[in-house]
Structure 1
Amino acid sequence: MKFVAITSCPTGIAHTYMAAEALEQAAGAEGHEMHVETQGAAGSQPLDPGVIAAADAVIYAADLEVRDKERFAGKPFVDVGVKAPISDAAAVLTAATEAAARGAAEPATAPAAPAGGAAPAPATKVTSGGGTGTRVRQWLMTGVSYMIPFVAAGGILIALGFMVGGYEIASVEPTAVIDEFDATSAYSWGALLFLTGGAVFGFLVPVLAGFIAFAIADRPGLAPGFLGGAVSLTVGAGFLGGLVAGFIAGFVALGLTRTPVPPAVRGIMPVVVTPLVASFVTGLTMFLVLGKPLKALMDGLSGWLGSLSGSSLVLLGAIIGLMMAVDMGGPVNKAAYTFATAGLATAGASADGNAVEFTVMAAAMAAGMTPPLGLALATVVRKRLFTQAEQQNGKAAWILGASFITEGAIPFAAADPLRVIPALMAGSAATGGLVAAFGVTLRAPHGGIWVTPLIGNPLLFLLAIVIGTAITCLAVCAVKGIGRRTEAVPTAAEPAASAAA
């Protein structure tokens, strides 16, 4: 049979491509033809229309809205989360085969406009099914996924600026750089990097709000969403204000999109009326109603973070670390990661290199690295506790863990969750607590060991990872040995899993 698939995850970094590879391998093993479009952080290469036309069924393995979903109208489909094929691609493929056998499905486009001329609702992943909580999480993570590249670029540029020019560059005026730039001066280059990174950071909250609104209402939500994010910055409501503004703009735009209008007006609704009215309503709400309360809430959160020190900060680091390992890229992991990146957005271009927000980010990244690293070490230390396929996965886990791709631990956790996941949580909690105790800081939201030069106290950061990796390894080996009379001996018949990218 012939299948096409779309894969996407909130960050667009790991799950997206691991799911694609798992589907391709499962299809190849069954003798089927599989073409996958990865809608990830690196962009996507659209599927050839001829390939789509020839497909027997479509697989949506996505945690975000599927872009250009109308291409698959009328095709039988299976709609699952992105982790489903990573855990059991064969089962997803079986479901797709059964869907193809049942015949054509309802069109995958938005429903037809109702009487009265209301525009159709946008066809997105979040409107295709799931409960309210699921849809809210997907709307939120859509905004976060588009925001992360801005956090990464801005944070790294600012860190490089401080590393090159010193913390004095935080007080530099843009006009001084423009009028007095000296190509031979480290201070000038540092100031340039700092100002560029600060400019990138200025887009964080508008992008977050804009793409939350986009996930809810499609393109009509973009203008009011970005406006809401900009107003949030103006009133000082920051990251929390951006979240709220995105939902307000999205729902107002969606309501206007679904409002019955005369046919003569329908054509200008999405480009004139909806953005205009939704932007005004969003701006009015943020300026006059919610701006002050959200600012007070944001100030309270920032004050609480700033007051943390000693054992309370270590406890927060341990909790963040534990959450990073609970589901390895799932909702709990993303909640912890979003909290950490929100801290970066709050601290922004602060010259305070020891801000608590930067320590929280360091704890999240270090704790997200130790699950795959600990499992990779365990496959070397106690090889006979793991199957041949797991040993092969362990080789890939070294690179995945070092690159802060926690999903490298998923194949091990999926095969033995009750033993493996608690062991991973123990190691990650220890890592997060140690990072906080050491006072390590980090301005970049991703990168793993490859951004070590940008880390405050890099040697202590690496020490925390080494200790956490060792704890994870020892815990995994201990729990996998419980109840075993003999160690598991891998058989030659077991296929070796390829390295997940």
Structure 2
Amino acid sequence: MSVISPDLVRLDVDLGASATDVITGLAHVAHDAGRASSPTLLADAALAREAQNPTGVPGRVAIPHARSAAVEVPTLAFARLSRPVDFGGPDGDAELVFLIAAPEGGGKAHLKILSKLARALVRGDFLDRLRAATTPEEIVAAVDEVIGDVPAAAPQEGVEKQATHLVAITACPTGIAHTYMAADALAQNAQARDDVVLHVETQGSSSTEALDPEVINRADAVIFATDVGVRERERFAGKPVIESPVKRAINEPGVMIDEALAAARDPQARRVSGTASISEKKQELSWPRRIQQAVMTGVSYMIPFVAAGGLLLALGFLIGGYAMANGWQAIALQHSLGNLPGNEVLIDGATVAFDRSGLALYLGAVLFATGQMAMGFIVAALSGYTAYSLAGRPGIAPGFVGGAISVLIGAGFIGGLVTGVLAGLIAYWIASWKVPRILTSLMPVVIIPLLTSLIVGLLMFLLLGRPLEGIMTGLTDWLSAMSGSSAVLLGIILGLMMCFDLGGPVNKAAYLFATAGLSTGDAAAMQIMAAVMAAGMVPPIALSVATLLRARLFTPAEQENGKSAWLLGLSFISEGAIPFAAADPLRVIPSMMAGGAVTGALSMALDVGSRAPHGGVFVLFAIDPWWGFLLAILAGTAVSACAVIALKQFWPSRAVAAATVDA
């Protein structure tokens, strides 16, 4: 059965005044020809696709398309309209409309039709034949010539057998946005191709669904789009591999897939090691890059401690009152559900009064105590997992030991960064020693952790501890003394950093700086946290507003992203702005930095403080004054939105001017 037949063609008809009318009319044509069980289901699927991006293309042609359960075989319905209709095409209302309908599980057959039609539509002779045809048979003949041998019921199994099988891992330091955006970009690119079958495993913050071992066995090559270490990397041992930072998969998914295809065909291509990634890193990455990646790994593992602990502290304050912080340990340990505290509690021989009592005070203290325990791990986790990234499992124990020593001597997160890198490098060095076979099994379990912990401890107590403690003390004193113009200047710097790379290393450095002092409860640290969170919320919200106000300045894909970016912004997920920045960095990034600087400055000037490290507007109860927080965000959003609109208006983007709808 051909994808098109004379009974699927309508010439010089009036199907209505809108794209909805035309698509509905063609769905009925398909139904009347016996190609669709329900015209309503088919029309709804095509209209849903049309709502994502209009399907008008150059030549005054429209190609609405969809997969639907109402269709059993790929079908092409055609109408030459006597009353042209707007399908969002670049050169006017559409006169020629193709409705491409494919089975819901029918593989990529409709994409073959779409790609061959798209190539034919740029040929003037093909369009002339469609416009000059006097019978449906002439239309069918013209279309059959350009579509060629695309079968009406192309089996997915056949396509997969001929295609190259790839698997991919995506992972970013926070595991919140980049991880899933990279996976979507790779998957969507592969879906539009006939030569690739791709399966992606996201190693993010939410639950990870591991790739089926059979899928890995069938894979011809592997893509690692990560900024942190790949978990259970040994599963891919012996497979050709390409590796890049996670943002490259977002910006250049097609290039990465092409590189993987080339690696699959190259017998000399680099392959995944069956033991650990250390040797491969040595061959592929410079030491500065390895250390940077290690620190990002440490930050990635630290963030859950910060988020859980910080939010628990904020909930403790909400329930037990702010005065509870003066005696949370005694309240949590000396009382229980059967022995609730009153307004006054005996602490260290002195009676301390609180503004709340009973269950509220006790539960608040319990939540606060739990949060304090979680926050107490952040320096050790930062240090331990930084060392793990450099040296593998033997680096974990000395890294944690070094982090604990940093907390003990007052070196804080600066000491944790230093001990993490030191522990990782020392453990890596010891692992390279040539030892008798009898000691080989003891090296990773006993000898490396023991010697590395000993060396790191001696270095910290005898040499590095006091200087690092002095640096941390000086930094803390400086933050505590901030006021007036100096606080505003710091807010500007933090705002610029948060919006510079939207979730990259600079953004993470500002976030780490903010969260490092949160456990102290110091007012200056809470103000820094508020400024960082507010500035990080601005880019997605501003770009969402800009696409709403001046949609024509953005590509259809950006307009679609703008519909959800505002929610990401309100949740403090700066990565929601990445698709815009990747497509147009010269206009988007400076605009976002301007708004971030305004927000950071206003937040600091208004003495806004946040006891929560994450959550955006959903943790307003932990922000004081809340109105100052919202005012700073609104001001920064207005600046960024106006700036990006102005730049795109007076410095037009070629990508927008030349945008055409793709599949």
TM-score by length of 2: 0.69
- Higher mean displacement: 143-152 or 246-255: 246-255
Structure-1 residue corresponding to 2:201: 37
User: Which residue number corresponds to residue 73 of structure 2?
Assistant: none
Q: 1:141 is aligned with what amino acid?
A: M
Structure holding more helix per residue = 1
Separation in 1, partners of 2:375, 2:511: 18
Q: CA deviation at 1:185?
A: 2.6
Secondary structure of residue in 1 paired with 2:592: helix
Q: Is the 8 A contact 1:158 1:349 kept in 2?
A: no
Q: How far 1:313 sits from its partner (Å)?
A: 0.7
Identity %: 52
- In 2, Cα distance between the equivalents of 1:126 and 1:376? 39
The one-letter amino acid paired with 1:331 is P
| 3-state secondary structure, aligned to 1:34 | strand
CA distance change for structure 1 residues 178 and 89 in 2, over 3 Å: closer, same or farther?
Answer: same
Distance 1:43 1:438 in 2: 39
**1:228-267: CA deviation from partner (whole Å, max 9, x where unpaired):** 1111111111111111111221122111211100111101
Whether 2:501 is the aligned partner of 1:327: answer: yes
**In 2: Cα distance, 1:485 partner to 1:8 partner:** 31
Quote the Cα distance in structure 1 between the aligned partners of 2:277 and 2:497.
34
Instruction: Check conservation: 2:514, 2:532, Cα contact below 8 A.
Output: yes
Structure with bigger gyration radius: 2
SS at match of 1:13: coil
Aligned amino acid, residue 129 of structure 1: E
Structure 1 counterpart of 2:175, from 12, 23, 37: 12
- Partners of 1:7 and 1:20 within 8 A in 2: yes
Provide the rounded CA distance (Å) in 1 between the counterparts of 2:233 and 2:460.
33
What amino acid sits opposite 1:170 in the alignment? A
Determine the structure 1 residue equivalent to 2:212.
Answer: 48
User: 1:203 maps to which residue?
Assistant: 377
Q: Which residue number corresponds to residue 160 of structure 1?
A: 315
What does residue 432 of structure 1 align with? Answer: 600
1:77 maps to which of 226, 241, 248: 241
Give the conservation status (yes or no) of the 8 Å contact 2:278–2:390: no
1:367 is the counterpart of 2:367:
no
In structure 1, C-alpha distance between the alignment counterparts of 2:276 and 2:458, rounded to whole Å: 25
1:108 correspondence with 2:253: no
Q: CA deviation at 1:70?
A: 2.1
Q: Which of the residues 471, 482, 490 maps onto 1:308?
A: 482
User: 2:620: which partner in 1?
Assistant: 452
Q: Could you give the per-residue CA deviations for residues 4-59 of structure 1, whole angstroms, max 9, x where no partner exists?
A: 01111111111011111111111101132211111112242222221111112110
Say if 1:177 and 1:14 are closer, same or farther in 2 by CA, change over 3 A.
same
Shift of 1:480: 0.2
Aligned match of 2:17: none
Residue pair 2:491, 2:528 contacting (<8 A) in 1 also: yes
Q: Which amino acid aligns with 1:385?
A: L
Bigger drift between 283-292 and 314-323 goes to 283-292
Contact 1:370 1:465 in 2 (8 A): yes
Deviation at residue 123 of structure 1 after TM alignment = 3.3
d(CA) in 2 for partners of 1:254, 1:226: 16
- Is there any run of 5+ residues in structure 1 with no aligned partner, and where? 111-119, 496-501
The answer to whether the 8 Å contact 2:240/2:263 transfers is yes
Q: CA deviation at 1:331?
A: 2.1
Q: Is the 8 A contact 2:328 2:366 kept in 1?
A: no
Contact 1:317 1:360 in 2 (8 A): yes
CA contact (8 A) 1:75 1:104 kept: no
Contact 1:87 1:414 in 2 (8 A): yes
For 1:60-99, list aligned pairs within 5 A.
Answer: 60-99=224-263
How far has the Cα of 1:491 moved from its partner? 6.5
Work out whether residues 7 and 17 of structure 1, in 8 Å CA contact, stay in contact via their aligned partners in 2: yes
* 1:310-342 C-alpha deviation (Å, 9 max, x unpaired): 111111111111111111112222222222222
Q: Secondary structure at the match of 1:364?
A: helix
State the match for 1:382 in structure 2. 550
Please give the residue correspondences for 1:118-157 in structure 2 after superposition, counting only pairs within 5 Å. 122-123=277-278, 126-127=281-282, 129-157=284-312
Distance in 1, Cα, partners of 2:250 & 2:617: 25
**CA RMSD, 1 decimal:** 2.1
Secondary structure of 2:624's counterpart equals: coil
CA distance in 2, matches of 1:230, 1:106: 39
Partners of 2:586 and 2:250 in 1: CA distance: 18
**C-alpha distance in 2, partners of 1:452/1:29?**
43
- In the TM superposition, residue 443 of structure 1 has moved relative to its aligned partner by 2.4
Correspondence for 2:110? none
Q: In proportion to residue count, which structure has more strand? A: 2
Distance 1:367 1:330 in 2: 15
Structure 1 pair 260/245, CA: closer, same or farther in 2 (3 Å)? same
Q: Give the residue type in structure 2 aligned to 1:93.
A: I
Is the alpha carbon distance of 1:124 and 1:68 closer, same or farther for their aligned partners in structure 2, counting shifts above 3 Å? farther
CA deviation profile, 1:446-470 (whole Å, cap 9, x unmatched): 2222222221211211121111111
**Amino acid paired to 1:284:** L
8 A contact 1:386–1:490 mirrored in 2: no
Question: What's the CA shift for 1:130?
Answer: 2.6
Do structure 1's residue 419 and structure 2's residue 587 form an aligned pair? Answer: yes
What is the identity, as a one-letter code, of the residue corresponding to 1:19?
A: A
Structure 1 distance, partners of 2:481, 2:592, is 29
Residues 581 and 588, structure 2, Cα contact 8 Å, conserved in 1: yes
| Aligned residue number for residue 564 of structure 2 | 396
Which whole-Å CA distance do the structure 2 matches of 1:486 and 1:258 have between them?
53
Question: SS of 2:175's equivalent?
Answer: coil
Q: Return closer, same or farther for 1:266/1:84 CA change in 2, 3 Å cut-off.
A: same
Residue 11 of structure 1 aligns to a residue in which SS? coil
Q: 1:209 to 1:55 in 2, by over 3 A?
A: same
Deviation at 1:494, TM superposition (A): 4.2
Q: Write the distance in 1 (CA, Å) between the matches of 2:283 and 2:479.
A: 38
Task: Work out which of the residue numbers 178, 184, 189 in structure 2 matches 1:26.
Answer: 189
Q: Is the 1:121–1:257 Cα contact (8 Å) retained in structure 2?
A: no
Partners of 1:414 and 1:484 lie apart in 2 by: 16
For 2:377 and 2:587, locate their aligned partners in 1 and report how far apart those are by CA, in whole Å.
Answer: 43
Q: Relative CO higher for 1 or 2, CA cutoff 8 Å, sep ≥ 6?
A: 1
Letter in 1 for 2:184: E
Amino acid at match of 1:408: G
- Give the aligned partner of residue 499 of structure 1: none
Q: What's the counterpart of residue 414 of structure 2?
A: 240
Give 3-state SS (helix, strand or coil) of 2:223's partner. Answer: strand
- The one-letter code matched in structure 1 to 2:296 is M
What SS does the aligned partner of 1:143 have? helix
Residues in 2 aligned to 1:315 and 1:173: alpha-carbon distance in whole angstroms:
35
- Distance in 2 (CA, whole Å) between partners of 1:74 and 1:304 is 53
The alpha carbon displacement at 1:483 in A equals: 3.9
Give CA deviations for 1:249-301 in whole Å, capped at 9, x if unaligned.
11221112111001111011111111111111111111222111111111011
How far apart in 1 are the matches of 2:656 and 2:220? 40
Residue pair 1:206, 1:227 contacting (<8 A) in 2 also? yes
Q: Is the 8 A contact 1:228 1:242 kept in 2?
A: yes
